[in-house]
Structures are given as C-alpha cells and as structure tokens.
Structure 1
C-alpha cells in the first residue's frame, strides 16, 4: 500500500485519478490494465499509478512519487511500465502527463498487417491533436513492436519520436496506446481523440470487408 500524497501533490493526484477512472469506466483499462502519470511541480519527479491497481476505483493513495531516474520516492511498487513514462518525460520537458490504455480498436489495428504506422486523413477529430488545424492533413500514429524490457522498448520508441511528438502518442503492437500532453487535460484530449479515430478506422475496415 502506498502513502497518501502530500498536500502539495493533492490537486494533481485527484485530477489524475479522476482522469484514470473516466477511461476505466469506458472499458479502456480492463483487468487492472493501463497506467497513468503526471509530472510534479518540481519537474524532477512524477506521480504514477502503482502496480496492479484497479483504475476504476483509483485513489491518490494508489499513486507513487517516482524520480525521473527511476527512484521510487514512496512506499510501494510502481507500474511495470513506469520506465517508459520516465523516458518520455526525460526526453521532452514539455510533457506534463502520460496516459496509457488498452482498447479493442487500438490493440487490433496495431496488429492487422503488422503496420509501422497508421495514417488518418479526412477526419474532423484529427483537430483534437495539438497542432492539427483541420481535417485535410495527414496525421500519422507510429506503431512499435512490444517488448517486456522497458529499456529496450524505450529505445525503440526513441527512434520514432519525431513522428510521435507530432501525434502526441504511439501504439505498442498488440498492447495499447500511449498519449501525452502539456498537462492532464491536454493528454486526455489527445487520448480521447485518438481512441475515437481508432474506433472509426476499425469500423471502416470492418464495413469494407463485408461490403
């Protein structure tokens, strides 16, 4: 069990938990899956979900403070994928929150034909992603191979970060999506937008198959 967050961290912790519960209520964190983090005010550490907790009932006491070098600053065991969150925070000081969920759409689309990227064009929801001003542009979401070694996975992600930075996210094949933003609200908007786009794309392919 982790300790309650400090008074300084309480607003961030409450906001991150509310965000996680919202996604869990929509079926995007099955079987305690998914992980969520937010950069603390000192910028040298984050709050991240503890390992194995139910995101549908997540409370601030189930968040751990972790330094960017991976040192756990509280009591408990951080999510197994904390290292990937930390690699993103270290790479880009503008990242304020990182959200990771599992959906049928993001999992299946990352595996169908083993794509290295998914391309979206013509969807109004593309404007949910920061920097996208209309539906006419070509929005690319990178897809990387899964790896249980978080250091190796982080190195793979680093190779696609120019594209991922524009998309504010990437897919891990057969696993799920990571999305981020300057704060929790921006990260949530990006993740909601991507999940809508991925759902549309999966349904489009299904309809074309049966046409």
Structure 2
C-alpha cells in the first residue's frame, strides 16, 4: 500500500524530483511522465492536482530561490530597523538562509539553464523589487538612504546581487569574488544606498568562510 502524504509533502516531493530531473536532463527534455516515475507511487493525477502544467512546476522550483512572502513581510514589519537595514537584512537572508539552502541542494545548477535563469531573474525582480523600493522610500524618511529613483535603484540592487555573482555567468575565484563585492559596495554607495557596509561585508565573509569549512568537512 502506498504511503500517505500530506498535500505539502506531495508538493515538495514533486519539486524535489523535478529539480533533480531539470538538472540532469534539462527542462525541455523532462516530461511529466519522467517526473511521475521519480515519485513514490504517486500518479500523474497527483501532479496535476497541484500543478496545472510543467511550466507551473518550474515556476514552483524557481520560487524556492526567493524568500517567502511571510519572510519578506516580517522584515517589512520589523520594529527598530531603518530602511537601509531592512534591505541589508533581506539580502543577507536571501544569500544565506540555512533552510532554503538545504531545500535547494544541487538545484543551484539549474541557473546554468537558460530557461530557468530567465525565470529566476524575472521572479526575483517581480517579488523583491517592490519590497526594496518600499525600503528605499522608508530610508528617505529616516535618513538612511539618499538614492533617487527608488524603483530603478531597487532593480539595480537585484541585478548586481542576484546576477553578477552567479558563477555560471561570471566565473569567480576567491579573489575576484571579494573584488566584485568591493565593486558593488562602491557602486551602491555612489547611488546613495550603502547596502554593503563594512558590517554587512563582514557578515558575508563570515558566512562564506563557514560554508567553505562545511563543504571541506563533508569532502574529508
């Protein structure tokens, strides 16, 4: 008898299996039947109950890369944070959220796929840009941000942080990674939104070093 799964478990299973197949076969070469074969006795009907198409599935996979609405709303409602600090908190969470990293696993390889990458950029912009724009406007009020053109600067921040550091597009060494961070810091500071302050750079450095050590420990 097939194991009983909750609706959330079924959705996560479908997204996990689909992510793995999209990495190994590519999105276009993966069929719904391929996904069905990877599920634990679940039927094609179970997939269509939650996702109306393969496009809806890849949209769900992409959405895993972005902070949830609950996470974003919690940052927006945080007391005692300036507009700039909210942007910084959003970016650090987007980069180093432990639960999201564990869920994504090898899915980061999907960023090498042109279709997936296009959806990733569109989704990041559609979801994060309004929040960053709002935080920039809050920063105008509290004095933490002086950037003009809030909407456009929000998009610039997303483009720099979520695109320029993707290794598949712009290969990095440890040295060039930190050089890029310094360049981003300079550009954003000139724009009037000092997102990558010394404190934030130190947080990023600590998190990266921790990730490297974790990877090395697993490799040994």
TM-score range for the pair, normalised by the shorter chain length: under 0.3
TM-score, with length taken from structure 2:
0.25
TM-score, with length taken from structure 1:
0.26
More helix by share: 2
More strand by share: 1
Which structure has the larger Rg?
Answer: 2
